[in-house]
Structure 1
Amino acid sequence: MASATLFILFILQACACLFFYTTGAQANITFSTIFSFGDSILDTGMNNNLPSGRCNYPPYGRDFLGKVATGRFCNGKIPTDLIVEALGIKDIVPAYLKPDLQSKDLLTSVGFASGGSGIDLLTSSTLLQYVKDYIAKLTEVAGEEKAKANIANSLVLMSVGKNDIGVSYTGGARKLQYTFPAYCAQLVTWSTTFLEQLYALGAQRFSVLIARSCSMTTNVGAQMYNNLLKAGIASLQSKHSDAKLVFFDIFTPLDSITSNPQQFGFQNANLGCCGGVVSCLPFTTLVCPEASTYVFWDSLHPTERTYRIVVSDVLKKTLSGFS
């Protein structure tokens, strides 16, 4: 796995990560629920229901609760889990399509993110229908008034752009349909349209966090997308005067780790802990003995320890802006 390739892929991932949340007016902000939308960085198992892009097999989940491969692209917890843990909501976030999803999960947190997907999925009727079905189930369990309050006090995470640019455009058929600037503009339109749909479904008071402009002189394409995205979200804020926008940056702490791994106690920042060109090979035994010494679990996704450092850094810098 080349360091340069990882560098570019995570620029794209970090600079397309949107965090939406709704809050009350209290000084100490709390969240009742967390929802996640997007791709593999936030996927807690929705990908298990897709024909491809799965990771619900060992060695994934080697260090997760019960040592179970749940569909998370990691050896353990991912940012979705770590954020709800840090906010004191719950320990982990179940995927919405989890067969044994409990009523209590509907009240606290569910994940809609799916590995391998891009913003195209967000524009489909399928995902929006999942959200509507969720709201109907939540209303049945909690009652209409509490369901509305729960959604209004939610934190909604959305990660988009990595697969769209890195896969759908760079290595896919989108090049035949769009110039790159036109495609970036279309991605922003799709993103803001989906957010408008979420707003219409009950997120009446929300603040918006998007990835701030990253240092990406080596990646002009990603910079172009990021600038258009910032403009699109600013337009959304002007349309909804109650919106508050704050840039959410996961690239800087990740770049610090990959640039100076020893400073953070890592021994390897160039290879993934498990085997495989992209993902870990199913049931492979070619896995490092201690994942906490590696920055990356597979060739694209960090280990739980790396995620913990990144999430801690981001929340420390961002939570004060919620009050």
Structure 2
Amino acid sequence: MAHKEALLMILLSQLAITNTLAALPKFTSILIFGDSLLDTGNNNFLSTNVKSNHTPYGKDFPGGIATGRFSNGVLMSDMLASGLGIKELVPPFLDPKLKDSELRTGVCFASAGSGYDDRTATNRNVLPVMQQPAYLANYTKRLKAVVGEAEGNRIVKGSLAVVFSGSNDMIASSRRHELGLDSYDDFLLSKVTDFIKALLDHHSCLQLYAQGVRNILVGDIPPLRVDAPSYNKKLKELLPKLQTQLPGSKLVFADLSEALTEVLLKGFLRGSSITDLLGQCCPGLCTAEQKPCENADKFYRWDTFHPTQAVYRLVTKYLLENDIPKFA
């Protein structure tokens, strides 16, 4: 019964998101890159301590399963895919049991604890964001083995790539202290540029530029653990300039900071169901021994670092209404 109720709640929430939207751009698949905001379970298959494949994580996921998602339920990865009519859940690419049927509609390459700065990931033995496009090449090869060359090219070129990262860099990388904040902003932005170019031309060594991803949603650093207004401003200014240098690309800024402001401050004043903006449903990084709050939907934070499914749902709605339409 609990499984059915959780699944029904997810389906109803996604239906509510979809029903509030105007016609959205159509994508063949979704490809997810970044950190724990989007990781649907890749860290389960890495030799790292940065994992959430244990209770009480996933307590509101269908079946109450701890899948490796750092929240009480599904993530924005899943919600964006569902809201766009692509699929309900985005599987982790590193899962050795990943089914070929999942490849057609996309997978997740994100790794919790990672960042654009390789030092951030190295300290935690997770998959750096800058290495994730290499796995895209592996995915594309496997996809084409299933659907054929031409169809594989069509799926990749028509996909939506999503990358949200940077928070861990601002907190954990030693390079930030070496360079200073302003110079470190510029360092990260150079990495964002390299990452986007790698996605657009992930077969560059084979001179197959035409097969690269074209639609990329790039998130700013949301005020969850650190404020980065200078970086966010520079990122927003960078993307249009970069797009002009990359013919055929469509780069859209995902304003996660504004989305959270909308969810938290404006939503709270309008009587949102999220009433606890300061507390945590499961304080710290939840251990298996911890007992979380009864109703996570009332909380902004699930644990110390990550929002609840309820917050992700509202942020995703904002992105679908305000940022995704810019791909049209």
CA distance in 2 between counterparts of 1:70 and 1:203 reads 32
The one-character-per-residue Cα deviations of 1:291-313 (angstroms, maximum 9, x if unpaired) are 11212211221111111111112
**Per-residue deviation at 1:212?**
7.1
CA deviations on 1:15-65 (whole Å, 9 max, x unpaired) are: xxxxxxxxxxxx963111111111100010012124121111100000102
Q: Paired residue for 1:254, among 257, 260, 267?
A: 260
- Runs of at least 4 residues off by over 6 Å: 212-215
Q: Distance in 2 between matches of 1:228 and 1:254?
A: 19
Residue 138 of structure 2 is matched in structure 1 by 133
2:234 pairs with one of 228, 232, 237? 228
Question: Is 1:167 matched up with 2:167?
Answer: no
* TM-score using structure 2 length: 0.79
Do residues 107 (structure 1) and 104 (structure 2) align? Answer: yes
Q: How many residues align?
A: 284
Q: Which residue of 1 aligns with 2:279?
A: 271
**Kept in 2: contact 1:57–1:283 (CA 8 A):** no
Question: Residues 222 and 260 of structure 2 are in contact (CA less than 8 Å); yes or no, is this contact kept in structure 1?
Answer: no
Mapped to 2, the partners of 1:240 and 1:122 lie a distance apart of 20
* TM-score, structure 1 as length reference: 0.80
Distance in 2 of aligned mates of 1:208 and 1:291: 31
Letter in 1 for 2:30: I
Asked whether 1:301 is paired with 2:323, we answer no
**Letter matched to residue 47 of structure 1:** N
- CA contact under 8 A between 1:37 and 1:112: conserved in structure 2? yes
Tell me which of 93, 96, 101 is aligned to 2:90: 93
Quote the Cα distance in structure 1 between the aligned partners of 2:235 and 2:24. Answer: 29
Report the Cα distance in structure 1 between the residues aligned to 2:41 and 2:251, rounded to whole angstroms: 29
Distance 2:106 2:272 in 1: 31
In 2, the alpha carbon distance for the partners of 1:114 and 1:205 equals: 20
1:41 is aligned to 2:37: yes
Give the letter for the 2:81 counterpart. V
- Give the equivalent residue in structure 2 for 1:291: 296
Residue 5 of structure 1 corresponds to none
2:58 counterpart (39, 43, 61): 61
Percent of aligned pairs with the same amino acid: 33
Per-residue CA distance 1:97-135 (angstroms, 9 max, x = gap): 1121000111112001111001121334xx333222111
Contact 1:60–1:69, Cα closer than 8 Å, also in 2: yes
Contact map agreement 1:205 1:242 (CA 8 A) in 2: no
Cα shift at 1:205: 6.8
* Distance in 2 separating the partners of 1:213 and 1:297: 18
Q: Give the Cα separation in 1 of the matches to 2:99 and 2:147.
A: 13
Give per-residue Cα distances to partners, 1:128-160, cap 9 Å, x unaligned. Answer: 332221111111111111100000110100012
Contact 2:301 2:307 in 1 (8 A): yes
Q: Per the alignment, in what secondary structure is the counterpart of residue 61 of structure 1?
A: coil
SS at match of 2:95: coil
Unaligned runs of 5+ in 1: 1-26
Considering Cα pairs closer than 8 Å and 6+ residues apart, tell me whether 1 or 2 has the greater RCO: 1
- The equivalent of 1:12 in structure 2 is none
Specify the SS of the correspondent of 1:108: coil
Change (3 A) 1:129 1:313: closer
Equivalent-residue separation in structure 2 for 1:110 and 1:213 (angstroms): 23
RMSD: 2.4
Paired residues of 2:243 and 2:249 also in contact (CA < 8 A): yes
Query: In the alignment, is the contact (CA less than 8 A) between 2:199 and 2:213 conserved in 1?
Result: no
Q: 1:128 to 1:206 in 2, by over 3 A?
A: closer
* Contact kept in structure 2, 1:257 and 1:295, CA below 8 Å: no
